[in-house]
Structure 1
């Protein structure tokens, strides 16, 4: 297993954000972490990456501890967060070049811009990009390290239907080349198309872990979107649905 998480728990004061999380991810697969806002998805990822300290549990990525081996992992793991903040005045080519300089064996960022259909924005300032173009740029930046694993947070937010499907095709191709992908998403069609396995969180606890097919089989519904709402009970918290 390329990622192993055992007994991960995280508290903020007396509040439990993540409660005894357990899962593993195989190399070359796509793993989805799902749940309503506040379910513990982002906290789980931050603990897994070592950017936040968990209260208990053990985590292994590429047979390394993300807390003690962060420098080595940094060169082999890519991360794209939904709320990525960059200087708005910087140009696309400048931020790509700066990112490339951090890594020992970076991927050709011009090739990645072309792969995600934003090569014509190379000389544009980040602030001039549309929401969808900015989102694709953030994915490009996460892939510049030429990582073995990439973490993608709400990767197609802001993209239209065609652009979303184009991104799916690229990720499927990268997966076929051995890339391991961990993602969060509120788009259940995306999860169905991309994910080999999923975990659904509710108030920090695991309410389902397995394949999309098993999730459907073990529920009273046929459509995965209904299944997800049933497991997460998001239908009772409509205000939280994005």
Structure 2
């Protein structure tokens, strides 16, 4: 049992309504100090609304929220000095240089990190004199990350921080998160990237339709599938799912457009039986591949759709 003093974030019964739309529907969260927790879910799941409430950008309809032992109604000034955040999109002054922008944001805090350190953390040393308006998308996002870290926060929020970034910028951001964890800081991350969640997060909370579907370490959540491997295949004509589901070591079978996805316990047992079924059916195999189970497989198993499906809604 985690004591309240060990918690960076404590959320009980969080609800947020926009008119008749329930964006967050009774979420509970306990996030320990010094861990990185990922909030996963498709667009419109309620994860961004949840994070915005934690950041003090929105008020909940009901529920109890405490950050670092404080709440927004009584301790807003203290919390603003102790948290940092990077939004999906940050608007900056185009004519200021990178160094000028970092200096300006650092001046907002009583004990900021040195400007040199902030610029170095996000690998923008060669761009320190460049104007913000001349930066690439990845460089602007790294600058936004430096600004969020300016106050040396105890608690840091990253909302879809690597969407649209090039591989180098993504890795640079990953390195910063790893460094924050090493210093005992708490990180809350929302992401659609499964590799990102598995590499960076100590624990995950999967949200859909405003509710928590499951939670645990990445390994625990993937293990909950009861299947280690996935077989994906396409055949012409299409195979009958009802003939594949009873095959040895097959845990479940689903169809996505023309492709069949079979989650299996023992690949060496399941694969020969699947190939025999293809042969018996007289179908022509157009595609066959195998891979290990992923977090996206977990979400498909829970909801029947992918984490990357859906459209962004206002209440996302």
The normalised TM-score by structure 1 is: 0.93
Check conservation: 1:80, 1:142, Cα contact below 8 A. Answer: yes
Matched, 1:217 2:223: yes
Provide Cα deviations, 1:189-232, integer angstroms capped at 9, x if missing partner. 00000001111111111111221112112125522232234335
Residue 165 of structure 2 is matched in structure 1 by: 159
- 39-48 or 155-164: bigger deviation: 155-164
Partner of 2:298: 227
Listed one character per residue, the Cα deviations across residues 154-194 of structure 1 (whole Å, up to 9, x for unaligned) are 12223222332232123212211111100111111000000
RMSD: 1.8
Q: Secondary structure at the match of 2:73?
A: coil
Structure 2: runs of 5+ lacking an equivalent: 1-6, 228-292
Asked if 1:23 is matched to 2:19, the reply is: no
Alignment: residue pair count: 241
1:1-242 aligned at under 5 Å gives the runs 1-221=7-227, 222-231=293-302, 233-235=304-306, 238-240=309-311
CA distance in 1, matches of 2:125, 2:153: 21
Q: Does 1 or 2 have the higher relative contact order (CA < 8 Å, sep 6+)?
A: 1
Contact 1:132–1:160 under 8 Å retained in 2: yes
The answer as to whether partners of 2:43 and 2:309 remain within 8 angstroms in 1 is no
Deviations 1:9-52 (A, max 9, x none): 00011110000010111111101111111111111011112221
Q: Evaluate the alpha carbon distance shift between residue 110 and residue 158 of structure 1 in structure 2; reply closer, same or farther with a 3 A threshold.
A: farther
- Measured in 2, the distance between the counterparts of 1:10 and 1:237 equals 23
Q: Are the aligned partners of 1:31 and 1:196 in contact in 2 as well (CA < 8 Å)?
A: yes
Q: Displacement of 1:143 after TM fit?
A: 0.5
Structure 1 spans left out of the alignment, 5+ residues: none
Q: 1:236 to 1:189 in 2, by over 3 A?
A: closer
Give the alignment's TM-score, normalised by structure 2.
0.72
Change beyond 3 A, Cα 1:31–1:232: farther
Higher Cα Rg: structure 1 or 2?
Answer: 2
